[in-house]
Structure 1
Amino acid sequence: MSLLLLLIGPSVLIALGLLLVQNIPVTFVLFYGWLFLAPLVDSVIIRRRSVRDTLRDFGFIYRKRNLFAGYLVGALFFLVVSAAMYLYHPYFFDREHLQDLLRRWEFTSAFTGWLIFILIAVNPLLEETYWRGFMMRRLQGVLPMGARVIVTSFFYALYHLGPLVPMMLWPANVLLTVPVFGAGVIWAVMRHRSDSLWGSVASHAISDMAIIGVYLLYIV
């Protein structure tokens, strides 16, 4: 599969699901389906790597210090996001507009349980596997390490514009991609230094708990 397709594929599917179909459940199926299938197709079917070798290439190796660092970084991100939203959430979004938008996107409080499961279990694992595992490995030999970190973090942050632009107030809807990019850089460096993906997954999961808190406290 071409590198350009692999880099922009998630952004295209987010835009298709939210802006064209305007349906969050459909967007989840398209987006997470791509994150799950694209690495397997490219690595196992096209490049004929075994599943075991593929998982090792992606960083599914246990490193105690890496996992501990992931917990610490995740806790820091959780505190920063929670504090920022507690203090400044009126500057980030309008609650009534956001509730109306979510209804138009076919997302109601009935999906809250699924949202919690997806953000804690599915999203961190698939996003970290795709960007910090698969794409970091896929760009090896094409770009130097620093460039790989920047490129994967940029395209990781890029598709967050899909939900942020219509959901958040200007200029927060654009500026919030900056900390997303920064988190991507940190998780990529963690994965590179330890050769393990688990710390990044743990950190991402804890960070996503703050998003769940924002949804439960300020939106529903």
Structure 2
Amino acid sequence: MKAGWWSALALVLLLPVPSLGAWLGLSVLPGRPLGRALFFAAKVWLVALPVIWRLAVERRPPSLSPLRHGGMVRGGLLGLAMAAMVVLAYAVLGPSLLDPPALQRMGAATGLSDARVYLVAALYWIGVNSVLEEMVWRWFVVERFESVGLGRWSVPASAAGFMAHHLVALRVYCDWPATLLCGAGIFIGGAVWSALYRQTRSIWPGYLSHAIVDVAVFAIGWHLIRGG
């Protein structure tokens, strides 16, 4: 089978899974053991497929995505710029689009209103989850889209895939205007990080940018959960 066909198969096997897992776990079966299991299984598959693909299909050794073309300063500056835009959007539009009492109830129900729990969740999300997202959505998905012939269009294509499952999750907690605004921000972030990957062939410049934005997002989340 040609490389392009293999890559198309990989995309078919991967792209729908996170959205399906979020939909089943958060909307169809919320709070139920089966819903949690399906949500977790989707997360595992999202990471397992790229690892299996590299080792078994491409027959290439594991890689830490080394920096060979720089990009960390660029990633850091882009992260600071996007974090500033996130904070500005929250300051201007947050009061009219978000529902702090609903988010506070969610925080109380999940334990996130406890500062220690929130800090652990933030550290995990920034230090682990965001690295895995860069591995999946920038390295694996961008390269698969390139392999099927999309070239530079792999940037918006991977960003759209990255945005999709976030939209499903956001809709559970937010109305449509807030969901779409946040989704647009996620798409832009995903496109920036995908472009950084294409320029540097390393996930780390995008990760640095991603982590800086995550810090801003978690700071806003804490402000909302604690009632401003």
Identify the residue that residue 51 of structure 2 maps to in structure 1: 40
Report the CA distance between 1:31 and its aligned residue.
4.9
The answer (yes or no) to whether the contact 1:150–1:185 under 8 Å persists in 2 is yes
Candidates 62, 69, 75, aligned match of 2:67? 62
Cα distance 1:88–1:141, how it changes in 2: closer, same or farther (>3 A)?
closer
User: Separation in 1 of the partners of 2:99 and 2:39?
Assistant: 24
What's the C-alpha RMSD, in Å, of the aligned pairs?
Answer: 2.5
- Mean Cα deviation higher: 127-136 or 159-168: 159-168
The answer (yes or no) to whether the contact 2:82–2:213 under 8 Å persists in 1 is yes
User: Separation in 1 of the partners of 2:216 and 2:41?
Assistant: 24
1:90 partnered with 2:95: yes
Query: Residue type of the partner of 1:92?
Result: L
**CA displacement, residues 101-138 of structure 1 (integer Å, 9 cap, x when unaligned):** 4555x453343133211221112201111011011122
The answer (yes or no) to whether the contact 2:159–2:191 under 8 Å persists in 1 is yes
**CA displacement, residues 63-116 of structure 1 (integer Å, 9 cap, x when unaligned):** 474011111011111111112212332223111122334555x45334313321
Partner SS, residue 176 of structure 2: coil
1:73 partnered with 2:81: no
Report the CA distance between 1:28 and its aligned residue.
7.1
Candidates 97, 108, 115, aligned match of 2:112? 108
Candidates 6, 29, 34, aligned match of 2:14? 6
Cα distance 1:71–1:2, how it changes in 2: closer, same or farther (>3 A)?
closer
Equivalenced residue count is 213
User: Separation in 2 of the partners of 1:81 and 1:34?
Assistant: 30
Candidates 167, 172, 178, aligned match of 1:166? 172
Instruction: Report the TM-score, using the length of structure 2 for normalisation.
Output: 0.82
Cα distance 1:112–1:80, how it changes in 2: closer, same or farther (>3 A)?
same
Q: In structure 2, list runs of 5 or more residues that go unmatched.
A: 1-8
Partner SS, residue 139 of structure 1: helix
**Percent of paired sites with the same residue:** 27
Partner SS, residue 221 of structure 2: helix
Identify the residue that residue 23 of structure 2 maps to in structure 1: 15
Cα distance 1:122–1:67, how it changes in 2: closer, same or farther (>3 A)?
same
Q: In structure 1, list runs of 5 or more residues that go unmatched.
A: none
The answer (yes or no) to whether the contact 1:92–1:173 under 8 Å persists in 2 is no
Partner SS, residue 118 of structure 2: helix
The answer (yes or no) to whether the contact 1:93–1:167 under 8 Å persists in 2 is no
Report the CA distance between 1:186 and its aligned residue.
1.2
User: Separation in 1 of the partners of 2:42 and 2:13?
Assistant: 14
Instruction: Report the TM-score, using the length of structure 1 for normalisation.
Output: 0.85
User: Separation in 2 of the partners of 1:3 and 1:124?
Assistant: 20
1:123 partnered with 2:123: no
Candidates 178, 185, 203, aligned match of 1:179? 185
Report the CA distance between 1:8 and its aligned residue.
1.3
